[in-house]
Amino acid sequence: MVLISQRIFLETIKKYCLARSIAVEVRSGGWLVIMTKGGTRRLAIGYDIGLNSAVAHQVANDKSACAEVLASAGISAIPHRLFLGSKLSKHIPGSDSLDAMLLLLAQHPHGLVVKPNEGTSGELVFRVTTRTQLETAVARILAAHPSLAISPYVEIKDEVRFIVLDDCALLAYVKLRPTAVGDGVHSLRELAHKTAPADLLKTITDDFSPAVLDSIPPKGELRIINWRHNLDSGAEPVLLKHKEMPHFGGALAINAAQALRIRFASIDVVQVDGSWHILEVNSGVKMEALGKRAPDLVEMIYSTALDKVFA
C-alpha cells in the first residue's frame, strides 16, 4: 500500500522511471523505492533519493548538530540546543537537565520553541512561555522521540524555503501564514473559525491564550492566526522568481548547503529583525503540499535530481 503522504513523490519517481525504461519496485508501504537500469541499481528511502552522503544526511536531519556545524562555518543560524530523553541521557550527564531548560526560558522572555531534534513533519512543535508549558511539551515530545531541540522564539517576518541541488537554487517560495481581518465585532476565535480549515483550529487554539482568542480585533486590523510557517499548518506558498531569490536569503541557503556538503536539500531561511538566518535543513526533500499546487514544477525538480542519480 502506498502511503498517501508520499503519493506525489512516488508517482513522480514511477513516471520518471517508466519514461526511461528503469525498473522500479516500491517496498515497505512506499517508504523504500528500488530503481534498476542494466547493472545500475539506485535506492530512495523516505524522501531521500540517494544523492547525499550518510554524514550530510544525518547532520542535516539533526537540528542541533546542523545549527552547530553552520555556526562553526560562520553561517548565521537559529541556535538549537540538544536535550536527550532518559534512554540516551545516561551517556551524557546533564543532557536531560530541566534546570538547563528553565535557564533558557529565563534568558528568553518571548519564549522558546521546543521540537523533536529529528524529523520534518512539523508535528509536536510547541511555543512555550511558562514552566508548565515547557514541562508539558518536553514530556509529550520525549514520549515519542529519543531527543528534542530547544531554540529561542523569534518574531519571523518572512520564512522562505529553497530547494537546492548541487549549489544551485532550483526553486524558492515564501510561506504565507493564515490571517484574519478584524471587523470590530467578532472575536479572534470566531474569525479563525471562519478563516481556518477545521483541522487547524485545535492548533490555533493551542497557540493562543483564551484572553487573546476572545479579544475583538479592530475593524481592518490584520491578525496572523498561526505562528507556524508549515504548509501543513495552513501556510500558502508564494513562488519567487529567480531574480528575487538573492533578496530573500538565496546566497545564505547556498552557503549552508556548501558548509554541510549536502547536494540535494530543502533549506528554510528566516528574516528576523532585518537579517536572514538558517532555520532548518532537510536532507529528504518533501514537496507534497507544494505538489498539490504546482505538480509540474515538483516533477521537474525531482526529475532533475534523478538525472543526477543516474548520471
Which of helix, strand or coil describes residue 100?
helix
Per-residue H/E/C for 19-77: HCCCEEEEEHHHCEEEEEECCEEEEEECCECCCCCHHHHHHHHEHHHHHHHHHHCCCCE
Q: What is the pLDDT of residues 208-255, one digit of tens each?
A: 667 777 888 888 877 777 666 566 666 788 999 999 999 999 999 999
How far is Cα 157 from Cα 116, in angstroms, rounded to an integer? 24
Residues 282 and 60 sit within 8 Å (Cβ to Cβ)? yes
How far is Cα 286 from Cα 30, in angstroms, rounded to an integer? 14
Which residue in 69, 254, 244, 278 sits closest to 156, CA to CA? 278
Averaged pLDDT, 185-199: 73
Angle (CA) 201-204-208 rounded to 5° is: 140
How far is Cα 203 from Cα 199, in angstroms, rounded to an integer? 8
* DSSP assignments along 254-287, one per residue: HHHHHHHT-SEEEEEEEEETTEEEEEEEESS---
DSSP, res 138: H
Q: What is the pLDDT of residues 165-187, one digit of tens each?
A: 999 999 999 988 777 788 887 88
Q: Does 156 score more than 80 pLDDT?
A: yes
How far is Cα 306 from Cα 108, in angstroms, rounded to an integer? 43
**Model pTM score:** 0.86
CA atoms within 13 A on the CB side of 160: 29
Residues 245 and 168 sit within 8 Å (Cβ to Cβ)? no
Q: Does 4 score more than 50 pLDDT?
A: no
Q: What is the pLDDT of residues 198-215, one digit of tens each?
A: 656 666 656 666 777 788
How far is Cα 303 from Cα 300, in angstroms, rounded to an integer? 5
Averaged pLDDT, 64-75: 97
Joined together, the cell numbers standing for residue 281 give 535543513
Joined together, the cell numbers standing for residue 139 give 514530556
Q: What's the pLDDT at 199?
A: 59
Residues 287 and 9 sit within 8 Å (Cβ to Cβ)? yes
**184 vs 129, which has greater pLDDT?**
129
* Structural domains of the chain, ranges and CATH numbers in brackets: 52-76+155-177+227-311 (3.30.470.20), 79-153 (3.30.1490.20), 181-226 (no CATH)
Per-residue H/E/C for 179-232: EEECCCCCCHHHHHHHHCCHHHHHHHHHHCCHHHHHCCCCCCCEEECCCCCCHH
Q: Does 64 score more than 70 pLDDT?
A: yes
171 by Cβ neighbours in 10 Å (0-12 / 13-18 / 19+) ranks as: buried
How far is Cα 265 from Cα 308, in angstroms, rounded to an integer? 14
DSSP, res 79: -
Q: What's the pLDDT at 1?
A: 37
Averaged pLDDT, 65-74: 97
